[in-house]
Amino acid sequence: MMKLSNKLQKLPTQFFASLVQKVNAAIAEGRDVINLGQGNPDRPTPPHIVSALQLAAEDPQTHKYSPFQGIQQLKEAAANFYKREYGVDIDPNREVAILGGSKIGLVELPIAVLNPGDYMLLPDPGYPDYLSGVVLGDVHYDTLPLTEDNDFLPDYESLSDEIKQRAKLMYLNYPNNPTGATATLEFFQQTVDFAKQNDVAVVHDFAYGALGFDGERPPSFLQIEGAKEVGVELYTLSKTYNMAGWRVGFAVGNADIIAALNLIQDHLFCSIFPAIQHAAIAALNEDQHCVEEQLAIYERRRNVFIEEAHRIGWDVVAPKGSFFAWLKVPEGYTSEQFADLLLEKANVAVAAGNGFGEYGEGYIRVGLLVDESRLKEAISRIEALGLFKGEPISITKSN
């Protein structure tokens, strides 16, 4: 019988897969579960993008292989997007890599630019799939602790000399999953300085770049002078344009890192279905009013959810970006215990914070990916448990 390779056996358990299994089991029992644990946008892709796909799919030319490194017009659209939105100049020929979703790039990069045994730096808490690249690249990692007292930004000065010296690659993600924190241009300047002083390449996961609240626009890492000398930024259309299932994104920035990404993809893929690339061009180039509308919806949901949480005595902080809220669990519970309790007793699914790393313990992540009425109902169900007024209740099911 064929067995998994040693490398595949070392891969981390898919955190979101186990969460989905728990939720699906509850739904199979006939329970009305409000799923706040997912990270899947709940609204449809804007009609003009769907129409662009339909039109492109009718053209027989799109039925052929795509150029291995993507359609030139999509690279140009990515460069135009960065110039329009962030004032950043991007060379479409040397500084863009087309990706089948940004996750692919995040997993590929340790394989593409590190050697077995090298070290990288990962945020904690952070997106669990970063660890997949660690295993597949046969590399090691140290963590960048993200704590509330530092606004969920890493403190570079707190890192030991040993960690600084051995790190060759660093991942950042702002607006942040899971904390909802945002970064400032001042922080990104510190990051560029740190990278140059310690010869560390930077990868900024900008998946939630369009989602900043209270009139604050999340900055691009590449807006800092010298950023392209040390790193790249990964952008996905999944969140900005509700195109999660379409699997399309891109990396921009440092030409050497982009060349490494393009090379590894030459050996793994034949790029993305050309019609999807044409739809992505429409998304990036055409009217952006749909992005503004989407942001307004998420901000209203955030406000409703946070107001309701405060109403029942839950001391939570409103996220500054992304479509997630990062909430402390009541005293007496671990993250996983509290998440299991909410699913069992209130039919509310959330993601346990420890699934995002050691520093995620004591928190849960909530996705603002249901309408306002369901968010209110979720808080009402939690209120009925009396968690913020009395003693912790047991998570053991009664007979």
Domains 6-44+290-384 and 65-285 share a fold: no
Average pLDDT across the chain, whole number: 95
pLDDT digits (tens, 9 = 90+) for 354-393: 999 999 999 999 999 999 999 999 999 999 999 887 544 4
CATH class of 6-44+290-384: alpha beta
Q: What are the extents of the domains in the chain?
A: 6-44+290-384, 65-285
**How far is 94 from 92, CA to CA, in rounded Å?**
6
Percentage of residues of the chain with pLDDT beyond 70: 97
Residue 103, classed as helix, strand or coil, is helix
212 DSSP assignment: B
- Interval 315-324 mean pLDDT: 95
Would the pTM count as exceeding 0.75?
Answer: yes
CB 216: neighbour CB atoms within 10 A? 12
What is the third-level CATH fold of 65-285? Aspartate Aminotransferase; domain 2 (3.40.640)
Token code pair at residue 285: 């180039």
- Interval 78-99 mean pLDDT: 98
pLDDT digits (tens, 9 = 90+) for 190-245: 999 999 999 999 999 999 999 999 999 999 999 999 999 999 999 999 999 999 99
pLDDT digits (tens, 9 = 90+) for 325-334: 999 999 999 9
pLDDT digits (tens, 9 = 90+) for 271-290: 999 999 999 999 999 999 99
3-state secondary structure 215-270: CCCCCCHHHCCCHHHHEEEEEEHHHHCCCHHHCCEEEEECHHHHHHHHHHHHHHCC
Angle subtended at Cα 125 by Cα 121 and Cα 128, rounded to the nearest 5 degrees: 80
Q: Does 248 have pLDDT greater than 70?
A: yes
Please choose, from the candidates 357, 338, 387, 374, the residue with its C-alpha nearest in 3D space to the C-alpha of residue 125.
Answer: 357
